[in-house]
């Protein structure tokens, strides 16, 4: 799959949850004060998200995308993000990259940083 063509959205968010975050959909969550989800029971999952709401919006929200960065860094990856006047591949405005061998960066390009992070992370973990 060419991640530079995969759009933002729930399909990409689900792929990130599964392949990068090792997080699974779970029914042990309950809605709290009509707006936030809390884990009601100990479910035994190392990482999970409410099945009903789906995974965090990794590809569109920088706060969620940053969880991806933290996960990758904790797994030994170096991380870069940059952008500017210069346009990158496919005319993209932002670049993100992960590297775990001090040589090759696995790159993601997009108009927005969260999507660039998601594309780079998926490429780095080797999803075909």
Output the smallest distance, CB 46 to Zn ion, in A: 9
Query: Between residues 14 and 81, which has the closer beta carbon with respect to Zn ion?
Result: 14
Query: Between residues 14 and 28, which has the closer beta carbon with respect to Zn ion?
Result: 28
Query: Between residues 14 and 26, which has the closer beta carbon with respect to Zn ion?
Result: 26
Residues interacting with Zn ion, by CB under 5 A?
A: 26, 28, 43, 45, 48
Nearest-CA neighbor of 6 among 126, 116, 125? 116
Query: Between residues 26 and 125, which has the closer beta carbon with respect to Zn ion?
Result: 26
CB atoms within 10 A of CB 8: 18
Q: For residue 13, what are the CA distances in angstroms to 1, 34, 40, 103?
A: 15, 23, 23, 28
Q: For residue 117, what are the CA distances in angstroms to 1, 39, 79?
A: 16, 27, 9
Nearest-CA neighbor of 94 among 75, 117, 112? 112
Output the smallest distance, CB 41 to Zn ion, in A: 8
DSSP string, 23-43: -EEES-EEEETTTEEEE-S--
Output the smallest distance, CB 30 to Zn ion, in A: 12
Output the smallest distance, CB 45 to Zn ion, in A: 3
């Amino acid at each position: 799959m060419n991640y530079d063509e995969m759009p933002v959205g729930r399909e990409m968010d689900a792929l990130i949850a599964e392949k990068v975050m090792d997080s699974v959909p779970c029914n042990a969550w309950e809605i709290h004060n009509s707006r936030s989800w809390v884990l009601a029971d100990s479910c035994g999952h190392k990482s999970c998200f409410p099945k009903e709401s789906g995974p965090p919006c990794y590809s569109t929200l920088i706060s969620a995308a940053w969880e991806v960065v933290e996960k990758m860094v904790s797994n030994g990856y170096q991380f870069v993000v940059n952008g500017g006047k210069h346009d990158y591949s496919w005319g993209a405005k932002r670049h993100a990259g992960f590297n775990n061998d001090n040589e090759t960066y696995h790159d993601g390009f997009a108009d927005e940083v969260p999507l660039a992070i998601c594309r780079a992370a998926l490429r780095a973990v080797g999803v075909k």
